[in-house]
Structure 1
Amino acid sequence: MSATRQLLRDAADRLRAAGVASPEHDAAELLAHVLGTTRGQLLLAPEIGDDQQQRYDDLLARRAAREPLQHLTGTAAFRHVEVAVGPGVFVPRPETELLAGWAIEHAAAITAAGETPVVVDLCTGSGAIAKAIKDEVPAADVHAVELDPPAHAWAERNLAGTGVDLRLGDLATAFEDLAGQVDVLVSNPPYVPLEAWESVAVEARDHDPHLALFSGDDGLDAIRVLARRGLVLLRPGGVVGVEHADAQGESAPAVFSDGARWEKVRDHRDLAGRPRFLTARRPR
């Protein structure tokens, strides 16, 4: 067995013992980060030096203490883009890429029809969704808002030069100037019930901003605000997509199904088959 393979095996065993959910992946990502290469090129990289070994050991210790992998590398991949992340901002998850893809498909369809789609990302956090939409639908008029100043600073960094209109503000009142003009509204809001504190992964509970995680006793407070705000921002026939917890596959869509305010309310599953986000359309 090569020295690199043995190094990775030992590192993965160390992370596994610490309860890390993806020990092999994280061990390889951290080593690639230290060596300035990619996971796919690790076995072709030169033998690790003493200084690099020390740095790798330090990063492994921090990951074993359940510091998020993305905080250690400083970046998170999201669809075809990369965003800088660290303390003070929610780390985007792979599941959210499906919600972003839904928004991208709708924006792209409007572009294909020869029009300019107006897209709004509420609770943008790091700016990952807004950046991905602008990357894949460059003609879209993309807007984003974040309430938390530290998170907004990260979004400002990630969206610089993209053409996305980023604002500091509350989802309940933002973009009054766009009222009735938005084609696609998208959001990954806080949705964890306060009572679910102990069930949240250590990486999120101890390192993600609580403002980005928790949303009232049932986790639906922000989603209720979105249901109201969407009716103000969207044009007739405009669509909204909202991420939620896997346990909210019925309760989150029910917020939008209450009354005749929204139509075509449906829920969507992630790649693991779990309820993940809802979509709805403002009646024409």
Structure 2
Amino acid sequence: MSPRALVAAAAERLRLAGVASPEHDAAELLAHVLGTTRGRLPLLEDVAPPARATYDALVERRAAREPLQHLTGVAWFRHVELAVGPGVFVPRPETELLAGWAIDRAREAGERPVVVDLCTGSGAIAKAVADEVPDAVVHAVELDEAAYPWAVRNLTGTGVDLRQGDLATAFDDLLGTVDVVVSNPPYVPLEAWESVAVEARDHDPHLALFSGDDGLDAIRTLAVRASDLLRPGGVVGVEHADVQGESAPAVFAAQGSWEEVRDHRDLSDRPRFVTARRTLRGSRSGE
């Protein structure tokens, strides 16, 4: 049976199951089974029965809404490859914009910029910064005991200082010295449970998804901790839900340590992340 016919049949199966990107996922799964890339599938004439059986089993799991990345074991994020699977949040393409912002700000900070990634999860943002700003001193922290080993796996050999701990208390040794703080924290309101995509709701760790009744609990903590970590004039960038385009910036505006608070939209023109600059004077601690 040809790859084209296999992918077409699988894509229809995934479409009926409600998968958002059926053609892409069907092709990606077949490429994974055959050890090739989607672009090279048309060069193949036939798929042997054992490979077809393996493919059919993976398509069945994807139709049950198991994340594609869990089935392949890999997620791409900007220019880096990440190992992912059960227990760790699968990085989304939208977060690449936040990572790009952090990379640009690190480059502007001069030699040996200090960057902290709070709630690193798989290590996606930290690894991207280390990859694209080789002279940066990158630190990352993750609380979840299930996610932390994935971050260890992805950040080993990158030079990133990875620690396990709470974003609210992490990096006491860096207070007042950081140039860029970046985070993709949990931000889904508990009341929005039913609206979360099946792949995320049933397979991503809830510690990485939900953050209080309004989804802003972690962001409130971040606004305080980032103000302590950053040097005066340092910057913070935090992802949020598309319905938090006003409420997330309001957290930073009300905290008292921030100026230049502004929100940024993603490629679909939806509110996606907030950035702010640490004031040159004043802080939570009253410095």
* Both proteins in one fold, TM over 0.5: yes
Matched letter for residue 279 of structure 1: T
2:135 paired residue among 130, 133, 139: 139
Asked if 1:21 is matched to 2:17, the reply is: no
> After TM superposition, where is structure 1 displaced by more than 6 Å over at least 4 residues in a row?
none
Query: How many Å separate the matches in 1 of 2:193 and 2:2?
Result: 41
Q: Counterpart in 2 of 1:274?
A: 270
Q: Counterpart in 2 of 1:104?
A: 103
The Cα RMSD (Å) is: 0.9
Report how far residue 44 of structure 1 moved: 0.8
TM-score (norm 2): 0.96
Query: How many Å separate the matches in 1 of 2:27 and 2:228?
Result: 47
Q: Counterpart in 2 of 1:72?
A: 71
1:157 paired residue among 153, 157, 177: 153
- Paired residues for 1:201-240 under 5 Å: 201-240=197-236
- Give the 3-state SS of the residue equivalent to 1:125 in structure 2: coil
Q: Counterpart in 2 of 1:116?
A: 112
CA separation of 1:86 and 1:259: change in aligned 2, threshold 3 A:
closer
Query: How many Å separate the matches in 2 of 1:165 and 1:50?
Result: 46
CA separation of 1:230 and 1:161: change in aligned 2, threshold 3 A:
same
Identity %: 76
Report how far residue 61 of structure 1 moved: 0.2
Asked if 1:44 is matched to 2:43, the reply is: yes
Q: Counterpart in 2 of 1:127?
A: 123
Q: Counterpart in 2 of 1:54?
A: 53
TM-score (norm 1): 0.97
Query: How many Å separate the matches in 2 of 1:259 and 1:49?
Result: 61
Query: How many Å separate the matches in 2 of 1:13 and 1:156?
Result: 38
Structure 2, unaligned runs of 5 or more: 281-287
Cα-to-partner distance string for 1:88-123 (whole Å, 9 max, x where unaligned): 000000000000000000111224xxx210000000
Aligned residue-pair number: 280
CA separation of 1:166 and 1:259: change in aligned 2, threshold 3 A:
closer
Q: Counterpart in 2 of 1:262?
A: 258
Query: How many Å separate the matches in 2 of 1:180 and 1:259?
Result: 17
Q: Counterpart in 2 of 1:88?
A: 87
Report how far residue 259 of structure 1 moved: 5.2
Query: How many Å separate the matches in 2 of 1:69 and 1:136?
Result: 26
Asked if 1:168 is matched to 2:164, the reply is: yes
Q: Is the 8 A contact 2:65 2:199 kept in 1?
A: yes
- Give the 3-state SS of the residue equivalent to 1:258 in structure 2: helix
Q: Is the 8 A contact 2:117 2:182 kept in 1?
A: yes
